[in-house]
């Protein structure tokens, strides 16, 4: 009897808690009614919540709200709402949530998940400056990328006449480019340790905003149990240990006058700021390096895989790209990033691969840093904001061919390359991806080099192409095999 009373009393308390926390504040964006404690969690498609968000936007409009557990979040759908928050009102929405799994994983450090503040500004400024100093946008960075592309093409050459699984090929190449910047060295593609690092990074991105992450957020009582979300913390700590080991090796051989890589630059900055109370220390350096390692690998490689998938199955597009490349480069040995201005169709192809690849569909979650208004609604300070970039990249009013792969989305009537305002794969505003320019250079130099030397073919036994993406913090195409044929290298 006593036990039943206790259970009943507990149930009443939980119901009151939900009634107090689960009702929308005055003027808050509309949305579906939440369930006690779990909010709208059961309404989200666990495999691909983008489908659910699309339907809710049709019902409630471009700015609507959901409950993840007892916490309300605001979802932005379409270019107008996303730009209003991230560009027009950038200052009010630069924050990051501190209560979700990936926030706890990163401990609020680095540049991606750190909340807006002095430490974030210092480290973002440092990262951008260091990337420029190492040649971003210059010929020296081109050489770094082209050197890695040589290793990639060597493996493609070995597969010429047959088929290969490209799933890790582009991961290894993109990762090695960022590794050369932050570590001053690269890995061999068949290095087991390197492959382990790549696998851990993939698993982090897969679990970061999936069903287990949601369970972590809504049920803190379960966090101590050996459930799959524990792997995220384990993988992240192993990446942190790797960064710690490399930093320790650098500390004894740092080149302060002629820095070899970003670690040397950071150690130099730490020495200069030793007495000014700045946030530059070993722990923040580890987080920054992890951010760059993950962000510099997954997004670029998944975009390359998307491009190759569509080029194999849209052979007329591949051949038109090859003709344009051959016409511009002629007998010249290497492509230059400046050549992009003479290759509008290739530029359009690359941007279309980014659009349909939709690699970071929900950006990185923001929070309101102050009490503000958005689209006529009241947004209290601390409210989590989810910019649905996927909705912008397929918005019917913004694209000529929103639901198909077509480079003409980026070409005008004269065949000139144009970039619509709705092209936001890197997000926008003060939190825009700091590696955007590096990614643009990598995508152009790698794809032009590959398409110049090889023909990509859908295998006869490859079945029906599946273009559906695997949802995650970064989306990726489903695994596929790629046929490789060498092209004649006349005049080179």
Q: Is a pLDDT exceeding 70 seen at residue 423?
A: yes
Q: Is a pLDDT exceeding 90 seen at residue 492?
A: no
- The per-residue pLDDT for 133 is 85
Name the pLDDT band for 79 (thresholds 50, 70, 90).
very high
Q: Is a pLDDT exceeding 90 seen at residue 440?
A: yes
How far apart CA 336 and CA 388 sit, in angstroms, is 34
Interhelix angle 344-357/436-453, rounded to 10 degrees, is 120
Name the pLDDT band for 135 (thresholds 50, 70, 90).
confident
- The per-residue pLDDT for 13 is 46
- The per-residue pLDDT for 256 is 61
Q: Model-level pTM?
A: 0.92
- The per-residue pLDDT for 20 is 45
Name the pLDDT band for 472 (thresholds 50, 70, 90).
confident
Interhelix angle 298-313/315-329, rounded to 10 degrees, is 110
Q: What percentage of residues in the chain have a pLDDT greater than 70?
A: 94
Domains of the chain: 5-486 (1.10.630.10)
Contact by Cβ (8 Å): 261, 181: yes
**3-state per-residue secondary structure call for the chain:** CHHHHHHHHHHHHHHHHHHHHCCCCCCCCCCCCCECCCECHHHCCCCCHHHHHHHHHHHHCCEEEEEECCEEEEEEECHHHHHHHHHHCCHHHCECCCCCHHHHHHCCCCCCCCCCCHHHHHHHHHHHHHHHHCCCCCHHHHHHHHHHHHHHHHHHHHCCCCEECCCCHHHHHHHHHHHHHHCCCCCCCCCHHHHHHHHHHHHHHHHCCCHHHHHHHHCHHHCCCCCCHHHHHHHHHHHHHHHHHHHHHHHCCCCCCCCCCHHHHHHHHHHHCCCCCCCCCHHHHHHHHHHHHHHCCHHHHHHHHHHHHHHHHCHHHHHHHHHHHHHHHCCCCCCCHHHHHHCHHHHHHHHHHHHHHCCCCCCCCEECCCCEEECCEEECCCCEEEEEHHHHHCCCCCCCCCCCCCHHHHECCCCCECCCCCCCCCCCHHHCCCCHHHHHHHHHHHHHHHHHHEEEECCCCCCCCCCCEECCCCCEECCCCEEEEECCCCCC
* Nearest of 85, 275, 121, 263 to residue 184 by alpha carbon: 263
Q: Is a pLDDT exceeding 80 seen at residue 139?
A: no
Query: pLDDT digits over 353-363, tens only?
Result: 999 999 999 99
Name the pLDDT band for 7 (thresholds 50, 70, 90).
very low
Task: For residue 484, give both structure tokens.
Answer: 């490789």
Span of 170-179, 270-279, 358-367 with lowest mean pLDDT: 270-279
How far apart CA 459 and CA 302 sit, in angstroms, is 20
Residue indicated by tokens 């840093």: 369
Average pLDDT over residues 98-123: 91
More confident position, 483 or 490: 483
How far apart CA 386 and CA 363 sit, in angstroms, is 7
Q: Is a pLDDT exceeding 50 seen at residue 19?
A: no
């Amino acid at each position: 009897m006593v036990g039943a009373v206790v259970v009943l009393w507990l149930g009443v308390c939980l119901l009151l808690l939900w009634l107090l926390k689960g009702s929308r504040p005055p003027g808050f964006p509309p949305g579906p009614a939440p369930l006690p404690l779990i909010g709208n969690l059961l309404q989200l498609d666990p495999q691909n919540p983008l489908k659910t968000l699309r339907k809710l936007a049709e019902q409630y409009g471009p700015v609507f709200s959901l409950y993840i557990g007892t916490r309300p979040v605001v979802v932005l759908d379409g270019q107008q709402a996303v730009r209003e928050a991230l560009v027009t009102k950038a200052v009010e929405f630069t924050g990051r949530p501190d209560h979700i799994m990936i926030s706890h994983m990163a401990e609020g450090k680095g540049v991606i998940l750190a909340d807006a503040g002095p430490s974030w500004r210092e480290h973002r400024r440092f990262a951008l400056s260091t990337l420029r100093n190492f040649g971003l946008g210059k010929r020296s960075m081109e050489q770094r990328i082209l050197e890695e592309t040589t290793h990639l093409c060597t493996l493609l050459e070995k597969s010429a006449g047959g088929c290969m699984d490209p799933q890790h090929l582009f991961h290894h190449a993109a990762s090695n480019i960022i590794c050369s910047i932050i570590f001053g060295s690269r890995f061999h593609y068949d290095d087991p340790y390197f492959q382990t690092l790549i696998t851990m990074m993939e698993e982090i991105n897969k679990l970061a905003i999936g069903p287990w992450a949601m369970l972590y957020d809504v049920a803190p009582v379960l966090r101590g149990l050996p459930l799959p979300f524990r792997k995220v913390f384990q993988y992240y700590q192993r990446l942190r240990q790797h960064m710690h080991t490399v930093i320790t090796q650098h500390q004894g051989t740092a080149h302060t006058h002629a820095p070899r890589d970003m670690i040397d630059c950071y150690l130099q900055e730490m020495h200069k700021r030793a007495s000014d109370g700045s946030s530059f220390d070993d722990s923040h350096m580890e987080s920054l390096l992890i951010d760059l390692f993950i962000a510099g690998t997954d997004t670029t490689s998944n975009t390359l895989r998307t491009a190759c998938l569509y080029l194999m199955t849209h052979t007329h597009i591949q051949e038109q790209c090859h003709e344009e490349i051959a016409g511009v480069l002629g007998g010249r040995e290497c492509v230059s990033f400046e050549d992009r201005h003479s290759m509008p169709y290739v530029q359009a192809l690359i941007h279309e691969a980014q659009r349909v690849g939709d690699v970071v569909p929900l950006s990185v979650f923001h929070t309101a840093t102050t009490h503000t208004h958005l689209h006529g609604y009241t947004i209290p300070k601390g409210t989590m904001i989810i910019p649905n970039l996927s909705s912008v990249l397929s918005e019917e009013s913004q694209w000529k061919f929103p639901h198909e792969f077509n480079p003409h989305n980026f070409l005008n009537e004269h065949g000139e390359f144009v970039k619509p305002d709705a092209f936001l794969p890197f997000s926008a505003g003060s939190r825009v991806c700091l590696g955007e320019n590096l990614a643009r250079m990598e995508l152009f130099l790698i794809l032009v080099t590959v398409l110049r030397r090889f023909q990509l073919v859908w295998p006869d036994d490859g079945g029906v192409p599946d273009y559906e993406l695997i949802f995650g913090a970064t989306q990726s195409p489903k695994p596929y095999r790629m046929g490789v044929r060498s092209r004649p290298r006349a005049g080179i």
